[in-house]
Amino acid sequence: MEFVCNSCDHHHRGADAPWRCPRCGGAFDLRLEVDLRRQAIETGPPNLWRYAGALPPVPPEARVSLGEPVTPLVESTWAGVPVRFKLDYLFPTGSYKDRGNAVFVSVLRAAGVSAVVEDSSGNAGASLAAYCARAGIRCTIYAPADTSPAKLVQIRAYGAEVVAVPGSRAETARAVQVAAERTYYASHNWNPIFLHAMKTLAFEMCEQLGWRAPAAVVMPCGYGSVVLGAYLGFQDLVSAGLIDRLPRLVAVQAAACAPLYAAYRAEGRAPACSGHTLAEGIACAEPVRPERILEAIRASGGEVIAVSEDEILDGLRALAAQGLYVEPTSAVVAAAMSRLAGEGRLEPGTVAVLTGSGLKATEKLVRVLTTGTQVRF
Ligand SMILES: [Zn+2]
């Protein structure tokens, strides 16, 4: 396993998994030996370790698992077009972040890491706290002091310590970087191990389709770990001869916070998030690897779509009407599919990735959907 800096090409070998380049502060990519053979996969365990040949190396005894499943790929239709939903909200902590952290925390345990810090008051923090609890790793999560207490309950429940930082989200990021000088910074946004674990999303999807690539994959996009991880996975599958082409990658942002959409449309970098969005899991003003994400989307013939708050709520309702109760961040994919269908561009065989459970957002939905004394979904 070799870490290569995106910016200055500095190479770093070893299992200590630095979170960024020590020379220039740039983001690392990861170079891995990839061995994807159909027979080895199909006789492997019924979880993401069936793709161990394409993952960062972890001895089996160091693997940290909470029983994460191969998530279902459910057939459906959207505006009359046959599509499928990949139910990544069915992981142990209720979000796709477990896909990344099952591997990331395993690598950290194998490397002898005994304590980590991270900044996330949402799904990533909850997932990291759960896997650290399982691994016996001390976990401290930095969060802005004004984060609603309800959002921190799941993190605290797993035994993680929460450090409340006064001020903005940026001040929380600065505080955690100071802490990172003493304690391992387990940043899922920076560390490429998390991205490489996310490749299993692509592997599972293609295996479930009988080793074919879907026509298109529609995904929420904030920091871009789903989009980039899927792209790396589809690339591995093409290189191994298991699929013959990349699917079209469609990244969806909330219009209220859409820096990648602005860059994609060549409107320059948006100044920051211009408004509040229900899709808080992708409200990211400064992605770590913006050029990489756009390269991936363009290489696949894909696109970036930005959807409004009304479209997100409509998407949430339409998914729930099919029995799929997801958080608003995940509903952006439904909004995007409705947009594509309206333009006659929703391709049959599209897969939409549903990343987070609605059960995490019920309290928020009560606030948003209450009129007078009635909650109307
Ligand atoms: Zn560098």
Average pLDDT estimate for 137-160: 91
Under the banding of pLDDT at 50, 70 and 90, the label for residue 369 is: confident
- How far, in Å, from the CA of 21 to the mean position of ligand 1? 5
Segment among 8-17, 125-134, 299-308 with least mean pLDDT: 8-17
pLDDT surpassing 70 at residue 269: no
**Rounded Cα distance, 111 and 131, in Å:** 15
- pLDDT, one tens digit per residue, over 59-96 is 999 999 999 999 999 999 999 999 999 999 999 999 99
Residue 83: beta bridge partners?
76, 350
Under the banding of pLDDT at 50, 70 and 90, the label for residue 283 is: confident
> What is the topology classification, in CATH, of domain 73-96+198-371?
Rossmann fold (3.40.50)
Cα angle vertex 61, ends 60, 62, to 5°? 90
pLDDT of 364 reads 85
- How far, in Å, from the CA of 230 to the mean position of ligand 1? 24
- How far, in Å, from the CA of 178 to the mean position of ligand 1? 19
- How far, in Å, from the CA of 4 to the mean position of ligand 1? 8
- How far, in Å, from the CA of 195 to the mean position of ligand 1? 18
Mean pLDDT, the chain, integer: 93
- pLDDT, one tens digit per residue, over 158-168 is 999 999 999 87
- How far, in Å, from the CA of 8 to the mean position of ligand 1? 4
111, amino acid identity: A
- How far, in Å, from the CA of 152 to the mean position of ligand 1? 34
- How far, in Å, from the CA of 20 to the mean position of ligand 1? 8
- How far, in Å, from the CA of 14 to the mean position of ligand 1? 16
Average pLDDT estimate for 190-211: 97
DSSP single-letter state for residue 18: -
| CATH pick for 97-188 out of 3.10.20.440, 3.30.70.20, 3.40.630.30, 3.40.50.1100 | 3.40.50.1100
Average pLDDT estimate for 249-278: 84
- How far, in Å, from the CA of 98 to the mean position of ligand 1? 28
**Rounded Cα distance, 162 and 149, in Å:** 11
Neighbours of 268 (CB within 10 A): 9
Which residues belong to CATH 3.40.50.1100 in the chain?
73-96+198-371, 97-188
Segment among 83-97, 163-177, 195-209 with least mean pLDDT: 163-177
- How far, in Å, from the CA of 307 to the mean position of ligand 1? 35
> What are the strands, taking DSSP E only, across the chain?
2-5, 11-13, 28-31, 73-78, 81-87, 115-119, 138-144, 161-165, 184-185, 216-220, 248-254, 303-307, 350-354, 370-371, 374-375
Under the banding of pLDDT at 50, 70 and 90, the label for residue 276 is: confident
Under the banding of pLDDT at 50, 70 and 90, the label for residue 297 is: very high
Under the banding of pLDDT at 50, 70 and 90, the label for residue 267 is: low
| Displacement of CA 247 from its chain's centroid (Å) | 18
- pLDDT, one tens digit per residue, over 35-66 is 999 999 999 999 999 999 999 999 999 999 99
- How far, in Å, from the CA of 288 to the mean position of ligand 1? 14
**Rounded Cα distance, 52 and 57, in Å:** 7
Average pLDDT estimate for 245-259: 95
